[in-house]
Amino acid sequence: MNNSSPSSDDEVIQARALEAAIRISLLALLVLWCFNIVKPFILPVLWGAIMAVAIYPLFVKAYALLGGREKLTATLITLIALAILITPTVMLSGSMIDSSKTLAADIEAGTLTVPPPSDTVKDWPLIGEKLHGAWALAATNMEAALDKFMPQIEAISKWLLSAAAGVGAGILMFVISIIISGAFLVYSRSGSQTMESIAGRVMGEKGGKDFVDLAGATIRSVAQGVLGVALIQSILAGIGLLVIGVPYAGIWAGLVLLLAIVQLPPILILGPVIVYVFSVETTVPAVIFMIWSLIVSSSDAFLKPLFLGRGMDIPMLVILLGAIGGMILSGIIGLFVGAVVLAVGYTLFVAWLEQGKRGSEGQASAES
């Protein structure tokens, strides 16, 4: 005989529901708390992991050459990566500081001069006439030009200071990420097993390993074929700008890097610089710089197939959206991370769709 009443059953259900709600709330609070604690480290750790995956084949080769010493191999690769990052950064930063000092001193002494513009500037679409007029005014009467364009100059100066601060923070983030990537390389095997275990829990044992391998191939493809090519182009452009003595070479090299990542030709930046160089230098060095700039701008035509051919075929629109969205979300380092993350997400989504399609076709053939 059952002595329980409907009211007592309701009370038990309500008590269990209340207990489950409290447990879920406490668990959600703990997860949110942990997320807020690690949130400042997510981006550098993620970028460090991306770099570690991208250079892992190089790590394996160096590991064999150095007699199987993981920590020594990771340390050497980390130091080389830091040198590659810091050396051009110091050179370009020094050029920017020297140019700023010279410009400030010339303005204060009233000795700032601007070469007159070429008549070809008038033929530039949209901005040719206005740019030629402003440039000619600056060449003939610098004081009047400064008075006329003072609001714009102040706005540009504030933007440059803000951008410089952002670039400095980005460089520091890159340094931290490179050190983190070195740590990931030391524990690469256990880290790979952990990722396969996590993916296996989500997608099944076989599917999880396949997706981890696919994600790794995509990261290497994008990091080498897009980010690597963009970095090479910006470094080569920076070298040319430094050699020819273009003021604020670091800014122009940074803009070249930005355009190269979002899949736009660097000549959009280097073209106006070429015009400037022809206006201030003699013919021979100006022509040499022009040829160098054209080579830099077109170098992706043979570099991208060389690197992208080793990985997956990623639509350039995905890279563009990822780079721009990442930069808007997280600044300069987001420019790199966003392109890779969106490319990995796109590749895994396409693979998931194809996996489902193959499963449906196999089921249909089995039924027939």
Interval 82-97: pLDDT, tens? 887 777 777 777 666 7
49-53, 116-120, 187-191 — which one is most confidently predicted on average? 49-53
Q: What is the mean pLDDT of the chain?
A: 78
d(CA 135, CA 195): 57
- pLDDT above 90 covers a percentage of the chain that reads 5
19-33, 67-81, 135-149, 330-344 — which one is most confidently predicted on average? 19-33
pLDDT-wise least confident of 229-238, 300-309, 356-365: 356-365
- pLDDT above 70 covers a percentage of the chain that reads 79
> Mean pLDDT across the stretch 306-327?
73
Above 50 in pLDDT, residue 54?
yes
pLDDT value at residue 366: 62
pLDDT value at residue 8: 72
Closest CA to 66 of 50, 78, 77: 77
pLDDT-wise least confident of 83-92, 215-224, 291-300, 301-310: 301-310
> Mean pLDDT across the stretch 134-142?
77
Q: What pTM does this model have?
A: 0.66
Widest pairwise Cα distance in the chain: 108
Closest CA to 299 of 237, 217, 341, 362: 237
Where residue 294 falls among pLDDT bands split at 50, 70, 90?
A: very high
Above 60 in pLDDT, residue 153?
yes
Residues sharing a CB contact under 8 Å with residue 310, sequence separation 6 or more, in sequence order: 220, 221, 224, 225
Where residue 311 falls among pLDDT bands split at 50, 70, 90?
A: very low
pLDDT value at residue 28: 92
319 CB neighbour count, 10 Å cutoff: 23
310 phi/psi in degrees, rounded to 5? -85, -10
